[in-house]
Structure 1
Amino acid sequence: MLTEDKVNILIVDDRPENLLALEAVLNSNDYHLVEARSGEEALKCVLKYDFAVILLDVQMPGLNGFETAEIIKQRVQSRHIPIIFVTALSKANEHVSAGYLTGAVDYIFKPFNPLILRSKVEAFVQIHKKQIEIKLKNQQLEVQSEQLKEKKDNLEAIINEKTMELLEKNKELKVSEERFKKIFRYSPNLMAIRSLKTKQYLDVNESWVHFTGYENKEVKGCHGDFILIKEVDQSICVQNQTLIDLRVGLFNVEITYLTKEKELRNGLISTETAQLNGEPCIISTITDVTERVQFEKEISRLDRLNLVGEMAAGIAHEIRNPMTTVHGFLQLAKNQNEPQPKEYIDLMIDELNRANGIITEFLTLAKDKANDRRQKDLNSIIKTLHPLLRAEALLSNKEVKLELSNCPYLFLDEKEIRQLILNIGLNGLEAMHSSGMLVIKTFMEDEQVVLEIKDEGPGIKKEILENIGTPFFTTKEKGTGLGLAICYSIAARHSAHIKIHTSKKGTSFLIYFQQTNKVLEVSARL
């Protein structure tokens, strides 16, 4: 006995394991799943019950999926039931066409994506519920019509009453339209309305204009894809060539889009159809998640740094003490009357010094590294380093320029900040050709002190940019890959964060520091 408060869904497959997989994906308190293991058994179920949707396997013994679907569609009582073919057959056009000719509304190919399957089934369930609701309302209207016929004496009063109801509904409709306009106009999400027939933009809201950089007048009445929306997972709709914001029934699909200023941003797109002024339209909503994606990448980077820091703290004590002993012994042996060949000893000492230097850099990454943070003037630290950087630049006919603005004092470990500036500055000088200019700037932005180190090199490739700051990642033949990782570790210990802007004209590293009073406020709350 099927309960009235659950929606019936028929799943048809001759293989028990496939039925079990479908049941696991569609398991819900709102669904009543009915199984059929053949086309004949499916037809019997259709004669007994009304279903919101049928998931039908194509390859079955006896009646196959196509034949079963054709019979279901021939029966008046069941021809309205949507059919989704679940099949492992080839995705060739002839198979898909055959399915649609027999009455299918969609295809799911094995192995299927559980999220997509649930979403599609839920969409048809909602349509089924709406149809039932409409049917009930029609029945109610029929009852009301019979009552009106029986009450001829009160016909005039009933007409007046209905007229008042219609006027009230019309008023409510106007209020609803006004609410929709306000929601559309002032939504924090990017919203656009496009015609399904002409594909023209009919309207975009203020958030869409703000995020994309296009004016409303540039977009209205135009076709195409202004912001080049692309799915992050291209495998979901490989065969669908329709512009993504014109596809019906999307929900939080991960995408990227391009602003007028050529900035690539991340978002989640959903679409819904609507009738506006009698015209079929589609409303697309994009939730911008660029900052969230960047934050998640930063968290991942910090997790890797923490892991390396724990490793550094664990191995430092075991390696450094014996290395110091060996280093001292070799120095004594070098000064004896009959020493080992000097070139051998020099080579070993150089190698030990190199190993010691690597370990020292590695220890800099340790998350529990002690530092001496005091109120310091960032500009003074930069001015102290300027002669050193300038001397290094002059060796290769390059220049270092300072553009320092008045900034408040910060809680800084001077030695660490010097290391950060030198690491990034020397990398910038190495990246530039002769006559290049390295610019070091300080300025205020949103109550934060910003240190910018900008070079005129060829820029950083996208595939390399994602790994910047990862320990031991380097493009240099003799580099350790710890320089920029140390910079990120130093920034983290100063509650600062680093942003990188790069192009073919050069690269800028921007380090954002919280003001001293802001840091004190956060510390007090903690």
Structure 2
Amino acid sequence: MSGDRVKLLLVDDREDNLLLLEALLGGVDVDLLEARSGAQALEILEQHDVSLALIDVQMPNMDGFELAEKMRASQRTGQVPIIFLTAASREQHRVFRGYEAGAVDFLFKPIDAHILRNKVGVFVELGRHRQQVAHQLEAVRRAEDDLRFLAKASEVLGGSLALEETLNDLGHLVVPRLGDWCALSMLRPDGSLGEHVVVASLDPAQEDLVREMRKRYPPRPDSESGIYRVLRTGKRLLLDVTDETLTRIATDAEHLGILRRLHLKAALILPLMERGKTVGTISLATSESGRTFGQREIDLAEELARRASMAIENARLFERTQNAVRTRDDLLAIVSHDLRNPLGTIMMAASTIVDPKPVDHAARERNNRIEMIRRSATRMNRLIDDLLDFASIERGNLRIECQQHDAESLVRESLEALKPLAAAKSLDLVGETKGGELRLSCDRERVLQIVSNLVGNAIKFTPSGGRITITAEASRGMVVFTVADTGQGVPAEQLPHIFDRYWQAKQQGRTGVGLGLSIVKGLVEAHGGRIWAESVVGRGTTIHFTLSVAPAPAAAVSHA
């Protein structure tokens, strides 16, 4: 609505009648608008929001009834209450004519001041309530508009983890919503201010002008206003830009000329923060539009800067993570190539120098030491395999080649490979397949690796004389493999973490890097299966994992 005070419209062709109405309404807190004709009244109604119209009936050219009918026909004025004032007769047909034209009441001259004030007072209060509701609705609309903008900003800022792309998206988001142009600057690692990362404007010529000015006249670190002040204080800076302001900050006449060509009216500079430190600024400016930065725009800009700061921090964390991943991958490449070759040489040499028929104690002792070397090299080779598998799982490019296999052969082959390890610790290792022939779709070598890791883990934590069982059975379209032991078990508070990377049972000495069960989980999930564990301290641990049943072969079609 235009203005906060309630407005009344007085319409009468006689000046003395208007002066009388002014006097009668002198104690009412309203703005009085006056018209000497119906045409003038319509012009006023187009320019002002009126809460009540007091209209004289008897007027030349356009009487009060005609004016009321025209008001009712307009969408803008159709709901304005009308009270007719008349000195004519009280004949019913004239009163009905007035109500048909849209009047809410009639007052007959001479007008009683008390009655007039009371009737007008009711509509003034209604007008004030309408204004309050309109203001509240406008506040709600603005709040919703701001929330939509911030939601869009969050979507844009979260759309990329690349820092430059994030900043570019931010710059073009705020124009023209918060300013006529926007510039973003970031501190370099050495603490100096880099060039504008992004300049956004509706006018490309303005963008070029801002870039040229920044290149030729970079901000001075000792400046008491501008970007460096915000970088030092970490607080926003709001400037009303006048020609005096431009003259004060200009370095020379040419600099002043560029500043004037930007037609700056107001500027708002906000800090971009990362972990409590100012790492850059976002500068907003208004020019030809003539807009200013009110409290609403400042609050919105500060919230946007806060969200942008979070996006920048996330982008930088992502960049550091990517660098760390690249470093890890480079290291793994070195490990896989430069360590495997000497390990292979060690294992081959150990195999060739062992004495197949030791004849004395010294020869047997030498063979034992050679076997220790071979076992250590084999273990190191297995650790390298684990690291490479873990990296593949982390990258999401673990290679799985599925074919059809039967569960019984997988269980049997696992038993054959692992029984010597179990026997060396006096453990009983057994296996069975329940429910007849079970065919599944899997990568055979990877499944054998899963079972080997689980049984190896069980051997490690099961005391001599214990038992380890491998079983496979069908359940709800899946094959469920189970590895159960009679070992010491895992405490309930540790059980949810046994598949976490680098996790190891607290009561055991370090016997690996803690990747075994994490790799097992990754291998199972790469097959589209799931894995879970059950354990009772003092009674043992049981680990289950599922693999998909192989699809049944298509039935042969017979042709008559």
TM-score bucket (shorter structure): 0.3 to 0.5
- TM-score w.r.t. length of structure 1: 0.35
